[in-house]
Amino acid sequence: MAIIVDKVQKRRDIALACKELFFLNGINGLTVSQVAKTAGVGKGTIYDYFKNKEDIVFEIVNILMAENNERKHIKLNKLTTTREKVKEFSSFFYNEEEKELRELYKEFISISLVNPDKEMMELQTTCSNDYFQWFTEILNEGVKNGEIKEDSQKLARGLFVMAEGMFITSVVTHTVDDVKKEIHKFTDSIFDLIEVKK
């Protein structure tokens, strides 16, 4: 009797098996041979499940993001104010729990700036759009609940990219020492202006 292989699960298993290898060597230092050896499969098997090494990296990213998003949804649902939710949404850029995914994000950013890859840019664009949609839903809920002013929605893009900007600045310069403190200070200043005074 033939063994039935769950291709989706096998693809996931191979990607997860080489996750640490990826974090150790980065995208450019990862080879299909290394992945095959680490996953305990033949090199040909890798090509049964992935087009190339970038495809392996995309699978790792998708797995980590799905896990991260699930945790983020749970945390956001426990918070009561839009201010708290915006801070939690931005915590990706400083909290310890998301450090691994943040390192991956830095790798993607550096490659995109130096040597833009079409597939990588498309993945980042899709991710950014999805997260921005999620972020605007948080603000829309705050407006609907009468917590923040309706015009607050016009600040959505600026608020959304602010945390990323603080993070990138902290990585490439010595001008932002405490990303969490700076993000919270900026968020509090904005919310002092946009919250509906009771």
Number of domains in the chain: 1
Q: What is the pLDDT of residue 2?
A: 55
- Does residue 69 belong to any structural domain of this protein? no
Let me know if residue 156 belongs to a domain.
Answer: yes
Which range of residues forms the domain containing residue 147?
79-194
User: Is 35 a domain residue?
Assistant: no
pTM for the whole structure: 0.84
Q: In this model, does residue 131 exceed pLDDT 70? A: yes
Q: Is 173 inside any structural domain?
A: yes
Q: Looking at the domain assignment, is residue 66 inside a domain?
A: no
In Å, how far from its chain's centre is CA 91? Answer: 11
Instruction: Note the pLDDT of residue 163.
Output: 93
Per-residue DSSP letter, 5: P
Question: Does any domain span residue 39?
Answer: no
> How large is the average pLDDT for residues 55-63?
85
CATH classification of the domain holding 186: 1.10.357.10
Q: Is residue 167 part of a domain?
A: yes
Q: Is the distance from CB of 76 to CB of 90 less than 8 angstroms?
A: no
